[in-house]
Amino acid sequence: MKTRVLGKSGLEVSALGLGCMGLSFAYGEAMNRQDAIKLLRDAYAAGITFFDTAEAYGPYDNEILLGEAFEGIRDKVVIATKFGFKEGKPPLGVDSRPENIRAVAEASLKRLRTDYIDLFYQHRVDPAVPMEDVAGTIQQLIKEGKVRHWGMSEAGVGAIRKAHAVQPVAALQSEYSLWWREPEAEIFPVLEELGIGFVPFSPLGRGFLTGAINENTHFDANDFRNTLPRFAEENRKANLAFVELLKSIAAAKKATAAQIALAWLLAQKPWIVPIPGTTKLSRLNENIGAVNLELTPADLEAIENAAASINIQGARYPEAMQKMTQR
């Protein structure tokens, strides 16, 4: 497994991480506990050292899984977790008050069975709390040794600059993939300027870019993709043109659509570390194969030109959720 450093933070991680949310949250029924722990350990054995979780995933269950899976090899992995929602429940709204940040840090340390958090993200910016107060609280946690690096998620340029001025931000985590490229315009130049790494979540378009989903796919009743406009049946049908593009490129490379999508991300910047999630070992190994897949400048240009001709249908989030992610 190749490694990358997140910006100028010095935080070295595997070139591909594992987004752990789907093990216990958002995509239908949670995995069997022992199966989830085995998948986490298999990921580590395959070379992945960067694992992404949050108190909100469950809530709490996801951190508990990681705590058990990595007990005994804690110093071999990099664990990222998050604070920023009331009681760890996104529907209740954001909460980045200093006292809540501290309370979440202490609770996460216990669930993760560790005495430090490698990367502690603010899950969403809290407009009611000055960013200077948030960054100052993290700075104190770093001085106390409870947190080693901090990051932000779905933050805008102004918030990033304010935060970084108080305590250097190691990484920004936001959605980014071949079918959601919004961060390129304003966010990437700031990250490059300040030396901040980028961790794309949903790098495979919540599974759509793998080619495993079409207009006839039926999601579990608990799968939150049922609420996303982009995953409405008619939009899925229209968006299959994008998957066919990836498949055609993949065939020429003797790869899969998912591998092309991940290799494209890795080729964008040396400080980008995608965190695809999965519950299947076969998909995990498939994703890892993208790390050694080289896309030439000609390949990248062909992808760019073809992608520009396809108009993706459907909003990323429903209106209520969109408001929470507005920068």
CB 138 within 8 A of CB 117: no
The pLDDT of residue 34 is above 80: yes
| Angle, CA of 117, 275 and 72, to the nearest 5° | 40
pLDDT band at 28 (very low <50, low <70, confident <90, very high): confident
Where in the chain are the domains? 3-325
The CATH homologous superfamily of the domain defined by 3-325 = NADP-dependent oxidoreductase domain (3.20.20.100)
> In terms of DSSP H, where are the helices of 129-277?
131-143, 157-166, 183-194, 233-253, 257-268
Residue 327, CB-side half-sphere exposure with 13 Å CA sphere: 17
Per-chain mean pLDDT for the chain: 95
* pLDDT tens per residue across span 292-303: 999 999 999 989
Helices 233-253 + 297-308 axis angle, to 10: 160
Q: Amino acid identity of 213?
A: I
- The secondary structure element, H or E, covering residue 320 is helix 319-325
Instruction: Calculate the alpha carbon distances from 254 to 100, 250, 259, 290 in Å.
Output: 49, 6, 10, 11
* pLDDT tens per residue across span 230-254: 999 999 999 999 899 999 999 999 9
Residues marked as catalytic: 57
Give yes or no for a cis peptide into 200 (omega within 30° of 0): no
DSSP 48: -
